[in-house]
Structure 1
């Protein structure tokens, strides 16, 4: 593993405030993901401070008084390097301010995107926004009874409001290609898993909801993996890959602990975090399971087999520090290359057909003239989405 560490230089110490940290101080800080932190490039001012946590020192790098996009870029550049001892964080009491800013920027981006692409499905975007809210609660707050209830409510809303699978899949795919900053991987996996379960596999509402919640929780263990590994732009070393693989067992342990503390999460849902990197023909991790649990005691659960396909599809669509984004066709071709080994064929064939159908559907829509009189913009707020007329503008300070 790379041994690069970030060191606070003398000039930085002279220019910025540096505070010593005690172990008890860590609980008063909230780490901020790089993808959401980049939203600060879209605003003109902030009302909170942004810190670098370097080992047991806290560097106050951005304040409301010195805020600039140049400083934001400097933090992004530093975070993109393989430093093991560096985190971006805000005070816990300031995190709601940061989240409100992110939500405002996202709302503007969604409105702009829907103006540019009138074929995006509004209902899909609305449900995705609500799932993303649940996803962010899981990331920043861990698993608790209240977070699990929010996840359950969001999954229920998804299954109750499901539209045609090819429309939803096409909208998600077009959204990430148009503006990758809007994409929330766990929310996307949850929606895709719910679509596969309910629309493609004909599952009951209970089982389809379990697929969706498994998607929301599937990567919860990554909060225990160092950012230097999660954000590494290059290939993992064997040692780094072993650490990355622990997110499956660590995530499962976290959900099991939450269950014992009263969180409304079923064992079958928790198992998705453990099994979503298992491969249908073996060779996956952490246990190298094969086949269907319905057929063999050591097989992979139906919920994990669904989430595995949703996870790979979503991950390939996304632009990451270590890869470019792929369009639907490229993503499908890559998945076809290992489909006979990695995925349950009874699920994969239905999903593959639906993605193909979504491409045909949107190609046909794109060939039609757009009726601008039917355009609408929908913005997210605390209560969901609200409608605006086409001519009304939104501003983000």
Structure 2
């Protein structure tokens, strides 16, 4: 089922080769996002965090100002918990809350893609295959913030500091990764000068990882601030494992075409700024590769820019035959990655409030 939906979206991308108006068709974009929203809303017990969030949604009491009022979790951010508690006056069914947060996440992605993507269908295809199942079915709070990040790209590019500061602070009360939006704004001022610099920084980051130097810095920082950021120390204790060769290879394969065409693409100020942010995430990912899950989450936050960067590269291709080759390369990459869903009981079969789909 997962690949069938991906194939339907890909078919629109293929058709766009012959009907250019499909590439940035607002109605078509709305229809696809509406379908993705329905899919996320009717799921039942799908995602490794589903039970955790379901228990939380059930146990939250309607918000009151009574001094003895408490939330059932000390690890979730306050704005997220308060919004759920406010809605508890209206409805208590956990399915509503999964649907509500899916709507918020997809709304921001929809608005962001409408504003910034040079090819709506390609952006949605990458979003669905690489990020949708991770951040709408799982790690819900970070998914919301990643949607807000894409929505805020225009303000990052336009240097709207105070608006970005506001967005970043508010987002951090939904998930702490919201602070990365402000970090992305700061990084956007740094421009990578050449491909030689890019390769040099990549090799340096891998050296920091393999030498153990990055591990020492990270561990010291986590222990020193464990009272301030308890989750960080928890990641050090529980999720200490290296990246695999497959993960590293995948990141490098994604970077190769972007680096190869960097001299041409970087003439576009938008690409230059977004690539700086994206590349920073890659350096963090390589440098601290020993804390697999934690660093992967940071990396994925910046990787979401692929839904904008890859279409920018794709739109540079003028020949339809070349575009077909690129499309099928992207499809193979996306569909290969998406196969992991079939090996996780938390995702397959796809369970809904109406029954199972295979």
TM-score by length of 2: 0.27
TM-score, length basis structure 1:
0.25
Query: Going by fraction, where is strand more abundant, 1 or 2?
Result: 1
More helix by share: 2
Compare relative contact order (CA 8 Å, sep 6+) and give the higher one, 1 or 2: 2
